[in-house]
Structure 1
């Protein structure tokens, strides 16, 4: 754990095994870099960056999901500078967001690719722009980083707050990779496969950093190519040995609903990490129903929990696979986990590896069965938000500081962790707590016209006091009044809560984070006053 990723990468300068493979479905080709080729290209980038910027400078990486991305990212680290991994501005409106992040971190340079440069030029001055493929000259030896030196800034997705850059030091990056390799049994023979975007904390670690740490192969495609044809992901998993893949819950739903490729065999999938959003029992069951007969082992499905402030990894299910429990809804809303029949089923996110995780209520460690805020302590925790004073990273517990307050609500039950919601998103009506994700699941299942995973529930204030409302995307293929009534009936019947309002919007009408999740706070700002 004490060796940096940069040192591990350059130790493979004579290794001619495949390192990174980009599956470009649009072009119909696979492009691969060996470890030796990667080290050489990274060395060239590092050498040229040192001529253009100073040690510790922030250098943004804005490129598509392509081989230029790992070359640029590791080139920045090898140059002794701080990388800022960002998204390709392929969608309208992203340029303004990216320009704001570049200003926030005071980026000296922006590394991009030939594929993305035309789009990046629209908001980055020519003097700041460097095209990775155009760099040449002799490769440089890497700078050996100090453990606490920033490796990169991970800008959060903005689902609960404005995007902020989490400072991830080399110490935390190495620790997170070590934890993930232990938790998911990743070794040199593993194939890290998937499509999660590199600018996202899960994609950056699972598809770029863990392969460097373990010396294993990464095979990736773009997120758009997965969304357009989810069966591409399934074929990717079937075509490689000892696969470790990762995706949010919605991806498992999409895959289970996609056409099944002929002859599909998923017996080589060792780990399928399900994280980044709440894991739903119905998703786990449906995925197993469809792909169990095709070789997918239930214990390979690993519900997990993490966040950018902890680099990425916090907890995960173990070799037993998914575990769930059914809790009394009213007791859970009151802060206690009581198992009953016919209540609310939750999927556990397992237990931690290489760190401490506590559930805290009123400043004290809560006993098992009591809901509180999840706090984390370990070598993988970031050092703070770039340019901001924040106590999130230095809470005091059990006689020492350095605890990360996650803002997530959870409960320990039968030795494993269950997440119940977000502290700031909690809806309180007439003294009773409601978790928005519970209302959202009920609303989306109320009528087939409501789009799955495209619902936001949040609290609203008015003359009648505090209440709750739902904004949901729908397909427009039913009577609007009927759909609204179905949502109202479902929420009232399930939770005894009368929604103040149900707003139906067209597909794409709900604001989303850069990773594709519905942004509740932004949805409340857009629709909370009755607009839409």
Structure 2
């Protein structure tokens, strides 16, 4: 059966109209949970609108329609109102991370160079750490009461709403141009798939500068008039069970996270006190490959607390599709064996079409980005977005098998890096995170691996090499055992194979 189309009334209603509708009801809108405590800091819908109007007024004072506005702020209520205020003012938002660490600063500088923002909304702590621009501290912007308010800027649905900078796992970050039309389409797809309405809480910790966090925790609550409850990614890392406790406290909740987060939560489950997860609506597993072992471990860990198996929803999306492409439905995870490999279905499309051309997944729909900022290349020639991801469809469900650019070809045989990574992870209990990638030397193309290991020694190396040889008939050209935290990741938590190759194999090439 073809997927349902996004209704015309959705595709013609500006996103800020939903914000105005919500402001007529005095109910909680956004809650930022802080630790230790925890303590909740909440804005109602009228308070959100007052702050959004304040941000918009300041932006109208220092920028012009169509200007880009960078958001470099902490994951708190200020980030929410900064993003919404930028759209209310008719400017183009550029959601970014905070400038911590060398990699974080380099990413921000790269985005600034590409987007050339006219202004930057930031937290007070970062006023002197952002690149040159007209910088405004969100905390210092006064609210605007209804009597002094201006209406939202008039925008065309095809106008850019924001630039979603890709995580850069296989190439330099680029700003996907997300229109107002694409944003509302993606919000509709989310609500349609998970049967969400104004009574459905959205909750989580995925960063706002990532497409999953932005659409699920800011965009969809505005679209529905529902409540969003969130905390920071760092607080999740410090205690993964904070996420599980959050879900238990919000009946009917929809949440989302990358696959690695499900692993971390399952590993910590033995320390979980009695909670009731029986009323969780959906927990989306996306942003990186969904592993069958993770699905099984998560179910074993939390079924005793009442979590329905069907609540775990493997899904697939990408920044160029405003986040959403396919998802499991009421059936929950489907795991099948193909050619001896366990594969997890990422479900069916909602409000768009999916096809496979030469093993590549291609997507068409109103949620697809219009292009990359400042570039002439067409992002969806003929109306079809080439995702660069490999996959196939079975019984109407999509299975993702790898990345086109990451594909490793040795002696004419194709090897998907995530398959090799799964083999390495299973080879020894001390291995936590793995990057496998193609390398080339005087012997031709081969495979190299960087593996995070809690206690590296010769026995671990032997176990890894034997496992890869037995499972894939491949000798490893190189193997580096490092501390788990040293395996590079993208901004969304995925393993960055490109960065791993450059750091270890590139260093090897430079020094012979």
Q: TM-score range by the shorter chain?
A: over 0.9
Partner of 1:198: 208
Aligned to 2:77: 67
Name the stretch that deviates more: 62-71 or 3-12: 3-12
Q: Where does 1:191-340 land on structure 2 (aligned, <5 Å)? A: 191-258=201-268, 259-328=270-339
Structure 2 counterparts to residues 24-423 of structure 1, below 5 A: 24-26=34-36, 28-113=38-123, 117-125=124-132, 128-136=134-142, 138-258=148-268, 259-328=270-339, 343-361=340-358, 372-391=359-378, 393-395=379-381, 401-423=382-404
Shift of 1:110: 0.3
How many angstroms apart in 2 are the aligned matches of 1:459 and 1:93? 23
Of 408, 411, 421, 1:440 maps to: 421
Separation in structure 2 between the aligned mates of residue 93 and residue 322 of structure 1, nearest angstrom: 35
What CA distance in whole angstroms lies between the structure 2 residues aligned with 1:26 and 1:305? 34
Q: What SS class does the counterpart of residue 528 from structure 1 fall into?
A: helix
Contact 2:284 2:312 survives alignment (8 Å): yes
Match of 2:470 in 1: 493
TM-fit CA distance, 1:7: 1.0
Instruction: Measure the CA separation in 1 of the matches of 2:111 and 2:127.
Output: 13
Q: Is contact 1:325–1:346 with CA below 8 Å preserved after alignment?
A: yes
Change (3 A) 1:84 1:15: same
Q: Is the 2:317–2:325 contact (alpha carbons within 8 Å) kept by the matching residues of 1?
A: yes
Residue matched to 1:506 = 483
The CA deviation at 1:478 is: 4.2
CA distance in 2 between partners of 1:276 and 1:493 (Å): 30
Conserved? CA contact 1:90–1:119, under 8 Å: no
* Alignment correspondent of 2:4: none
Q: How many residues align?
A: 494
> Matches of 2:38 and 2:404 in 1, distance apart?
46
Unaligned runs of 5+ in 2: 1-9
Partners of 2:406 and 2:103 in 1: CA distance: 26
- 1:524 corresponds in structure 2 to 501
Contact 1:44–1:140, Cα closer than 8 Å, also in 2: no
Q: Distance in 1 between matches of 2:318 and 2:140?
A: 35
String of CA shifts for 1:165-216, please: whole Å, max 9, x gaps: 0000001001111111101111111010110000000000010000111111
- SS of corresponding position for 1:466: strand
Gaps of 5+ in 1: 329-342, 362-371, 396-400
Aligned mates of 1:74, 1:478 — CA distance in 2:
47
Find the counterpart in structure 1 of residue 459 from structure 2. Answer: 482
Using the TM superposition, give the Cα deviation of residue 390 of structure 1 relative to its aligned residue in structure 2, in angstroms. Answer: 2.1
Q: For residues 443-476 of structure 1, give each alpha carbon's deviation from its aligned partner in whole angstroms, at most 9, with x where no partner exists.
A: 112112222xx2111111111111111111222x
Q: Which residue of 1 aligns with 2:5?
A: none
What secondary structure sits across from 1:445 in the alignment? Answer: helix
In structure 2, C-alpha distance between the alignment counterparts of 1:123 and 1:295, rounded to whole Å: 45
Secondary structure at 1:130 match in 2 = strand
| Bigger relative CO (Cα 8 Å, ≥ 6 apart) | 2
1:508 CA displacement: 2.9
Q: Are residue 427 (structure 1) and residue 408 (structure 2) matched?
A: yes
- The answer (yes or no) to whether the contact 2:435–2:450 under 8 Å persists in 1 is yes
Q: Report the TM-score, using the length of structure 2 for normalisation.
A: 0.94
TM-superposition CA deviations, 1:423-445 (whole Å, max 9, x none): 01000000000000000111112
Query: Which SS does the other structure have where 1:174 is aligned?
Result: helix
Q: Contact 2:391–2:401 at 8 Å: present in 1 too?
A: yes
CA distance in 1, matches of 2:74, 2:149: 24
RMSD of the alignment, in Å?
A: 1.4
For the 8 Å contact 1:6–1:144, the answer to whether it is kept is: no
Q: Is the 8 A contact 2:161 2:180 kept in 1?
A: yes
Conserved in 2, the CA contact under 8 Å of 1:301 and 1:322?
A: yes
CA contact (8 A) 1:111 1:131 kept: yes
> After the TM superposition, which of the residue ranges 168-177 and 7-16 deviates more from structure 2?
7-16
Please state how far the C-alpha of 1:128 moved relative to its aligned partner.
1.3
Q: Is the 8 A contact 1:470 1:502 kept in 2?
A: yes
- Secondary structure (helix, strand or coil) at the match of 1:187 reads coil
| TM-score for the superposition, normalised by structure 1 | 0.90
**Residue deviations 1:193-240 (CA, integer Å, cap 9, x gap):** 110000000000010000111111000010110111111111100111
Distance 1:260 1:286 in 2: 15
